[in-house]
């Protein structure tokens, strides 16, 4: 082998070694950077309050990062049952939590930590003069709701049944935050969301309460995932949510007590 070819081969082997080391470092779970990551799957309606609680948890646990994944509870339950790695699951209803328990991804007793009810939201000033649930059926009113498999969609089904109102929404969304986005962007004249979402939107929407909302109170449970690699931290986050600090943050955001 010539000196030039020997030099090129040595360079290639060196580059390969460096590349392999880099990949090994990227693939090393937590230990490479000295930071432990706790992955939390949480219902979309919990986004703001869990973001705040995640920051509190990180401050109390140096070298720990809370990775938050928000979506509709039915989507998160499906991901968990398909093997998605996570440490904690917080659902917007008991039905989707039960699915994960039944599949074996959660083996402990889930803890209820909050409740929520629906309200109507409209663009600021309520230009369509929506006053009741039945007003969502008026000609020219573009109403948006959650899909039936999502907790806010199941709640919508209950409240419309209680009000004896049949809606014809222009769309059914996979998360309550998507319903809110349709209203705040002007794509819808009204939507059914949780009172906490309406409160979080502030002046971007007008909230219209309706009495039938009391017929569908959603209870939120939380639990550590059975195969979590960081069980102590997972239970620590669960305790933060269910404890005094979590209760105060949830109450401030508009959630009811469990």
| Binding-site sequence positions for molybdate | 45, 73, 176, 194
Residue 14: how many other CB atoms lie within 10 Å = 10
Output the known binding site.
45, 73, 176, 194
Exposed, middle or buried, 76 (CB in 10 Å: 0-12/13-18/19+)? buried
CB 137 within 8 A of CB 164: no
d(C-alpha 163, C-alpha 42), whole Å? 30
Sheet with 111-116, strands from edge to edge, namely 64-71, 36-43, 88-90, 218-224, 111-116
| CB 223 within 8 Å of CB 111 | yes
Cβ–Cβ < 8 Å for 121, 205: yes
Instruction: Tell me whether strands 190-194 and 118-122 are parallel, antiparallel or unpaired.
Output: antiparallel
């Amino acid at each position: 082998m010539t000196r030039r070819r020997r030099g090129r081969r040595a360079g290639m082997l060196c580059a390969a070694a460096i590349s392999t080391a880099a990949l090994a470092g990227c693939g090393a779970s937590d230990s490479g950077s000295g930071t432990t990551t706790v992955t939390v799957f949480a219902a979309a309606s919990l986004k703001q309050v869990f973001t705040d609680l995640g920051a509190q948890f990180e401050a109390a646990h140096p070298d720990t990062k809370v990775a938050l994944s928000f979506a509709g509870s039915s989507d998160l339950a499906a991901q968990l049952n398909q093997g998605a790695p996570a440490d904690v699951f917080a659902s917007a209803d008991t039905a989707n939590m039960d699915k994960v328990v039944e599949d074996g991804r959660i083996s402990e007793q889930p803890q209820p930590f909050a409740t929520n009810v629906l309200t109507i939201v409209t663009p600021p000033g309520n230009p369509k003069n929506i006053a009741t649930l039945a007003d969502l059926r008026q000609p020219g009113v573009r109403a948006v709701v959650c899909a039936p498999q999502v907790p806010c969609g199941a709640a919508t089904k209950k409240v419309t049944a209680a009000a004896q109102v049949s809606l014809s929404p222009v769309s059914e969304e996979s998360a309550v935050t998507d319903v809110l986005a349709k209203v705040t962007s002007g794509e819808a004249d009204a939507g059914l969301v949780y009172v906490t979402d309406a409160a979080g939107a502030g002046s971007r929407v007008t909230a219209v309460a309706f009495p039938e909302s009391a017929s569908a109170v959603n209870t939120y449970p939380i639990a550590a995932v059975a195969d979590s690699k960081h069980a102590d931290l997972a239970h620590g986050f669960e305790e933060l949510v269910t404890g005094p600090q979590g209760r105060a943050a949830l109450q401030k955001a508009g959630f009811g007590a469990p």
